[in-house]
Amino acid sequence: MAQIWLIRHGQTDWNVQGRWQGQTPDAPPLNATGVAQAHALAETLAQHAEQAAFQALYSSDLLRARQTAEIIALRLRLPVRLDPRLREVNLGAWEGMLGEDVALRYVAELDERKRNPVHSRPPQGETVFELAARVGQALDDIARAHPNGNVLVVSHGLAIATALCMANGTLLDQVFAHMPDNAALHVIAWRS
């Protein structure tokens, strides 16, 4: 069983603005706070590195996660292995929009999301169920590649929330209650 150290990327300006990022290539890089958060995480992880003996560092290929991973990688002297399955949920038409604008323009879709958080789909986006399936596959592959090892994984809020639910036996319909803050660190045991 692998120990997966889940890390949410550092802060971006869109996090501060309440803009929904998803997978859009237009999402901004880490802001100054996000860079500082990534450096602080790197120092925290360096303090654990001797005992944990991190075997690998995986990251979503989206810019904000990749930047966070690269800062950690420099401090820990580990290469970054990019895996697009670790991306955030595809929010389709909602990507780049302010949360308040989504609430005004997509009332019915957001109501459906509240009623059916696992299987509802943003227009042109993906469901929480689909997100959990691809994140679960990625973590299965990582755990098989590093049995009984400690592995760092840099990803995104909802992607990490699905992993936390799956690892802890929590129903996916509770996923939004498990959203980590920017630069949060959670350690889970993952059996492939």
Active site residues: 9, 88
Q: Which residues of 7-24 are buried (b: 16+ CB within 10 A; e: fewer)?
A: bbbbbbebbeeebbbbbb
Cβ-contact 22, 102 below 8 angstroms: no
User: Which residue, 87, 120, 122, 130, is CA-closest to 103?
Assistant: 122
How many C-beta atoms surround the C-beta of residue 178 within 10 A?
A: 18
Count CB neighbours of 104 within 10 A. Answer: 11
DSSP string, 140-151: HHHHHHSTT-EE
Structural contact between residues 23 and 155, judged by C-beta atoms closer than 8 angstroms? no
